[in-house]
Chains A and B, each alone.
Chain A
Amino acid sequence: MFARSRSPFFHSYLGLIGAVVAISVYLSIASPYFLKVANFVNIGNQIAINLIIAVGMTLIITSGGIDLSVGSNVALTGILVALFYLKMPASSTVPMVILGMILGLATGTAIGIINGLIINTLGVPPFIATLGTMGVMRGLALIASNGRVLYGMPKGFESTFAGFIGGIPKPVIVAVVIAIIGVFILGRTTLGRYAKAIGGNERCVRVCGINIERHKITIYAIGGCLASISGLALTSMMNAAEPIAGNFYELDAIAVVVMGGTNLMGGKGTMIGTILGALLLGIVRNGLNIMKVPANYHQLLVGIIILVAVIIGSKRSR
């Protein structure tokens, strides 16, 4: 991965790494809470939820697409899984818990495939197609739950993502594994190469005789599946499924991907950048909280950081 990138690793990510380190050093000096284990668990969990979605988003944006439906996907997955556990008999047994999670993954993957089909076979621009499915899936989540928050999932499900392995929170482990797989897929597999090629020049790839439709649908399916993993983790961590969960997650994920240096027009993607972008956004959000910045200022500062990161990134790429 290091050998393949044209510019040296540290050069291309210097800005992001510098920002992450600088903000971390500042926070650990300025606040007694930052370097606490509990705070790291908190940051880790927040970043994990965002990063899992952002890995899929990186692949999608690299291929020249976009997926606005991931936030609704998170909510619908949570609601359907919760309903499954609440309605099915013997739902606390291990096979049923596993079945519920498979159902969740299938939901997300199906949403991704639907996105891919609408975009491909019907030739609808990804922005609009997923804007539509965003509305539809959010509507379905609200209808299925009747607008209420669902509680009372079996213990087996709660403990899937809550808790620690070797002192590290489980969602963080899941996110790290997914991010590593993401780096591998984008950098080392045919799918990753085709994603970049399709984003770079779709017509050219088509002329080369590559089955674009199949690859694009796979990419959106992966994006949907990852969003549903994030939905499962969120539901399990909160021990509740909210129909309005995941609101604006799509914007966070897109911001992180673009901050990392992936081109919104497609053709150029970097998974490492996405990981660093997610770290930066997570630490900034956490810093605003522990420095007791009034909540009203959070959005303002996060917006400024996104813009500054993107402007610096654009200078770097030129």
Chain B
Amino acid sequence: MKTGYVFTFLRKHWGIIATLVGISLFFGLSSQYFFTFYNLLNILNHTTITLILAMGMVFVLASGGIDLSVGSTLGFTGVATALILKAGTPPLLAALCGIGIGALIGAVNGTIIAKFHLQPFIVTLGMLSIVRGLALVFSNGKPIYGFPGIFTTFFAGHVGIPTNIYLTIAIVAFGSIVANKTRFGLYAKSIGGSEASAHICGVNIPLIVILIYVQSGIFASITSFIYMSMMDAAEPLAGLLTEWLEAIAAPIIGGNSLSGGIITIFGTIIGALILATVRSGLNIFGVQPFYQQLFIGLIIIISVIADSIRQRRSRLSRERVVT
């Protein structure tokens, strides 16, 4: 039973595991710096931001939606929290305010999507613009510096390993439990699988959709705390492009479907690690940032092609069983 579980698990994820191992081996064999403790820690450190954003995104994707506004939310909650901190508010209260703002942005997204039956793509595209605008207006376009030490230590300090890694592990564990063990996770998947059936089964679809986007907003605000603590500055343009793109790319590489209905937390972790590993390896090689964009684009395409081939094969085998 136990080995059977491991076997199916490996069969489901062998593609991305092999990709991660292959990429790591390639970089490890070609550079002596790759497999150093410091570099591996660095990779994990850079994975945290993508991964926390992705934990919100997997539920959004599972419900058949998409959230383009997470990068802007990251930027704005960072700016807002920084301003609240600078006003002399205790760090804990400031962080709670930041989380509240993230939740509010998510609630607006979710409400518009659920109540007006609008496309998540276009709603969150509008919010992307609005929230980034708010970040620019409130910060006056300039980075904000100087936070209390306790705030930056909590979100990007060192206790053996960077504290944001502990935080990420906690959030991933939370996401995994919510996805697999709670009714909320089940409902999120059921909405993406078939909204009509979910409705007939009595799922309160608007409520679940709003909660899904609220969760995404909250995770984006937590990411902003890490980001501003790492940089020791809250930038209005934080999370402009790569962050939200990777927050969508990591789950997709990991095998979450854009059309909804499934959540794979393990795949998402591997997807985020693949992206961070490639970035780190290219940096070690001294490859220009230009090429990095090229490679990341290629990896997204290749992994999705692999996924679609796998899906087609499993669909074929299923159809064969039926006939």
Contact = CB atoms under 8 A, between A and B. Distances in A.
Given A132-B300, A264-B122, A143 B291 contact: yes
A297 interface: yes
Interface residues of A, number: 46
A128 interface: yes
Given A132-B301, A139-B294, A304 B258 contact: no
B122 A139 contact: no
B136 to A, nearest CB: 4
A129 B126 contact: no
A93 B235 CA distance: 49
B89 interface: no
B246 to A, nearest CB: 11
Nearest to A126: B258
Given A118-B305, A296-B137, A307 B259 contact: no
Interface string B111-146: 010001111011101111111111011001100000
B122 A255 contact: yes
Interface string B241-271: 0000100110010000011000000000000
Given A135-B294, A255-B122, A297-B133, A303 B128 contact: yes
B135 to A, nearest CB: 9
**A interface majority secondary structure:** helix
Contacts, number: 146
A43 to B, nearest CB: 20
Interface in B272-323: 288-298, 300-301, 304-305, 308-309, 311-312
A61 to B, nearest CB: 10
Contact of B305 (A124, A131, A142, A310): A124
A307 B130 contact: yes
B107 to A, nearest CB: 15
Nearest to B298: A136
7 contacts: A124-B304, A132-B300, A135-B296, A295-B141, A300-B133, A303-B127, A307-B112
Interface of A: 66, 118, 122-125, 127-129, 131-140, 142-143, 147, 243, 251, 254-255, 258, 264-265, 294-304, 306-307, 310-311, 314-315
